[in-house]
Structure 1
């Protein structure tokens, strides 16, 4: 209820409005009601957008695509297209820049190991921050060396305060110092080129995850983008999970076959009891997650070229149509 009263103050008429507390509470409750969560808005699917690209009968890749990429990566792409030709348009419409064929100076063993060390510590810098922030810290870090060579040994010569001045958080600074100590130890497997040449991917990853700040995902990303290993697969990556969900969502028969395979194995069937990483419902998603075991089986289907397959999945999982529209030659089979 609203009550109005009038009084005089200094010759002026003053009107006072009183609202009973119960009504005020009701009004507050009404205005402070939580807003409904926005539902995910589906965007045009990449396979539909690229429907204009014709798939050759022999599935041959465009020469410009072949010339751009490393020979081994091209073999991997040919392997994927042979298994599923329908992926041809998604694959060839744009190059995969991380596997570009280019003239790279032959590095000495020492410089190669330094490049591995640097890749790992810059990866640590990039964790949980924007690319611009990580780059700013990296530039300040490099400036600390002056005329000295940037490597693990000289990093350990810098003081704690010098490194902090570059913008390192305490945790990332500790990670960087630990990784530098390992790479400054001549007995470490990680400073021996033959270790990388002769070891299985699992053995390299096992050694990498011993480093502070390097988890399984980071180790596999290092193997993929720095070592250029062609059979890396991170089933628990969000982009991979989304890509698989969209890929199998349009191929129900294949999904049925994969589920049948998993359920026919007592060992694999038991793993389905474990909660999948992306099982939790999220109203912001416009895709339905599949169990990790199904995602793994999709990856194994394209082995020993799971790395290029993972890049394709990231492409399937991304619906940034603006990027597609800005491709330099959208009307051709490659860009």
Structure 2
């Protein structure tokens, strides 16, 4: 009988399969003798290392919380410039609310220290000689001078970055506290652009024709008397349509409808719960204008959806209180470390957590700038935009 045929040579399939797995340490491909050398991939591990130049994690900054102090804007009015409020000289106090507040339900203007039956008796007697020296026209100038007296290294920062928030024009802006607090909730854990889009859709839920009082016009042709609307009338109608909704409107709005604007289930519940607080009188423009900072913190942090940082930003950017300081803001912490001459690129704490300065250090340093710690905090956000070597 003829000898059996010789066995066929082995196919290199396993070798190709093993090659395809070489990029993964411990890859399961060919047999041991076919996979040589062992997959160590040292280059990949080095490439993944962040290195000293890695950017710090995202942190809230004034640009992120700007929405808190911005008025409602819809698609029809998005292209218009914000209204410029003329400066008005009023008494100012770094330990009080310096913004004129709009009552969310009635739009009545409320200012701190104005006569009111509900004003606290302890706040009634004001030393007139001291009170008249500080006004909305000069409080920023006084605050900047105080910061420079405490630490002359503040001067380059102040010269490079004028602060509009506490300027006479900034202190003239009328703030709806309900809108500002809702904006703070909306902006949590989302980008600034997404927050603006959600807020615009939220406002439009209540400004569409079927939600208004039934008398808004299609394209602004006629008013309720049948007469043509002029440009001023159309502008007034548009302003009415773009006003932030009243708390009573939001409190009765179904959660599903609130979510259609882009709010999560929790945020929709938070916003409606906040509306109920204003509707019941537990929160009001008058209280936020006259209460101490400690009471503002206590009242607002008790509301679901409003944490310490959110209330601190509201007190600073909306109420324009000038002695607010956030120990938990990473941007402020980083700026303070750079201000003190530390190399912030190398200050990364244990466990991968970023830590530039302890809270005890932040509290001690910021305390020197009281009662203008809000302004000091704002400039700590600006430190890395300025050549800190000029501060020596």
CA distance in 1, matches of 2:265, 2:42: 44
1:270-309 aligned at under 5 Å gives the runs: 279-280=349-350, 282=352, 289-309=356-376
2:331/2:381 contact within 8 Å kept:
yes
Structure 1 residues 15 and 99: CA distance shift in structure 2, 3 A: same
CA distance in 2, matches of 1:170, 1:120: 17
Deviations 1:198-236 (CA, angstroms, capped at 9, x unpaired): 322111111110111101111111100001001001122
| Aligned counterpart for 2:278 among listed residues 167, 183, 188 | 183
Question: Following TM superposition, by how much is the alpha carbon of 1:96 offset from its aligned partner in structure 2, in angstroms?
Answer: 1.9
Are 1:89 and 2:89 an aligned pair? no
Runs of 5+ consecutive residues of structure 1 not aligned to the other structure:
1-5, 9-13, 44-68, 251-277, 322-335
CA distance in 2, matches of 1:26, 1:224: 62
Runs of 5+ consecutive residues of structure 2 not aligned to the other structure:
1-6, 16-29, 56-135, 214-242, 343-347, 388-392
1:73/1:230 contact within 8 Å kept:
no
Larger Rg: 2
Residue in structure 2 matched with residue 206 of structure 1 by the alignment = 298
Structure 1 residues 320 and 7: CA distance shift in structure 2, 3 A: farther
Residue in structure 1 matched with residue 183 of structure 2 by the alignment = 122
TM-score for both structures, normalised by structure 1: 0.65
CA distance in 2, matches of 1:294, 1:103: 31
2:325/2:377 contact within 8 Å kept:
yes
Residue in structure 2 matched with residue 30 of structure 1 by the alignment = 41
1:52-201 aligned at under 5 Å gives the runs: 71-102=138-169, 115-146=176-207, 147=212, 150-186=245-281, 188=282, 190-193=283-286, 195-201=287-293
2:14/2:31 contact within 8 Å kept:
no
Question: Following TM superposition, by how much is the alpha carbon of 1:31 offset from its aligned partner in structure 2, in angstroms?
Answer: 6.8
Residue in structure 2 matched with residue 57 of structure 1 by the alignment = none
Structure 1 residues 91 and 7: CA distance shift in structure 2, 3 A: farther
TM-score for both structures, normalised by structure 2: 0.56
2:251/2:273 contact within 8 Å kept:
no
Question: Following TM superposition, by how much is the alpha carbon of 1:123 offset from its aligned partner in structure 2, in angstroms?
Answer: 0.7
Question: Following TM superposition, by how much is the alpha carbon of 1:70 offset from its aligned partner in structure 2, in angstroms?
Answer: 5.1
CA distance in 2, matches of 1:100, 1:309: 15
CA distance in 2, matches of 1:282, 1:17: 41
More helix by share: 1
1:153/1:184 contact within 8 Å kept:
yes
CA distance in 1, matches of 2:179, 2:339: 35
CA distance in 1, matches of 2:339, 2:170: 35
